[in-house]
A and B are shown apart, each in its own frame.
Chain A
């Protein structure tokens, strides 16, 4: 197995991915990953605004996986969700990719939500964020359901996403945010 590590690392490098984690996202893990990326970008003199946007997107995306991933440790639905996070460079920008399993029946509402956000201008996103912030949380929302709007607001390019059916029940959801 160790003979393929060079190729694995090379493949990630080719995509300019400098951070990769796969596993559960309890609060402690989310905090440490966010701090690692913050420290790295501070040492590299990344502009404050970019650094803070990246930090925000990373935290919100990991919290979304914690709450909404349909793959859990030991299969217990009450435990932390599992998924993958990747962080990389794209020219002067950074990107964050998160991927996790979700039940295929949940795809349509999620797709609708993301497409809605993709169609909004910066001002519309701001208005929508402030409107939603005043609302009581949705019944199935474990966070404030503002997370995705926050991610879209902090992003410098429209969100990219895809779904891939894995088996009769689950699909693989990937979301890319560029700051």
Chain B
């Protein structure tokens, strides 16, 4: 299976899914013009990857400095997918990275955590990246 790399734009995050090292990074802002056009292929890749990955340890780093309400719904679907995969026996750890000067960003991460049954996210505050 190929890695998935999508360049960052002003309104879509960088997607860097490395399936040889099992590290998946989502970095940037998310308010795409067409939400399903952007996230559709990402979910398709992820579903295939999860079906092939067996017992490897997967690390997912999410650092979103902004996401709109529509993206928030998609992120909830993403977390549901990962939570089910863990319930299914996969080994996934999620790092929620936020700007330490923005408590809202931590709160949004904690709200996603509230919906997870099988994953305990790690919250990491970082000095703001420009």
Contact = CB atoms under 8 A, between A and B. Distances in A.
Given A49-B104, A52-B102, A56-B66, A133 B31 contact: no
A63 interface: yes
Given A48-B128, A59-B31, A144-B70, 16 more contacts: A27-B33, A31-B31, A48-B99, A48-B101, A49-B104, A52-B65, A52-B102, A53-B104, A56-B66, A130-B114, A133-B69, A133-B73, A143-B70, A146-B72, A149-B69, A150-B69
B80 to A, nearest CB: 10
A56 B108 CA distance: 13
B105 interface: yes
A31 B11 contact: yes
A118 interface: no
Nearest to B105: A52
Majority DSSP secondary structure for residues of A touching B: helix
Of the four ranges (under 10, 10 to 19, 20 to 34, 35 or more), the interface on chain A belongs to 20 to 34
Best-surrounded residue of A31, A35, A147, A149 (most CB of chain B within 10 A) = A31
13 contacts: A35-B10, A48-B99, A49-B103, A52-B65, A59-B66, A126-B111, A130-B114, A133-B69, A133-B72, A133-B73, A150-B68, A150-B69, A150-B72
Given A134-B76, A144-B73, A55 B66 contact: yes
Nearest to B128: A48
B68 to A, nearest CB: 6
Given A31-B11, A35-B10, A130-B114, A146 B70 contact: yes
A60 interface: yes
Interface in A140-161: 143-144, 146-147, 149-150, 154
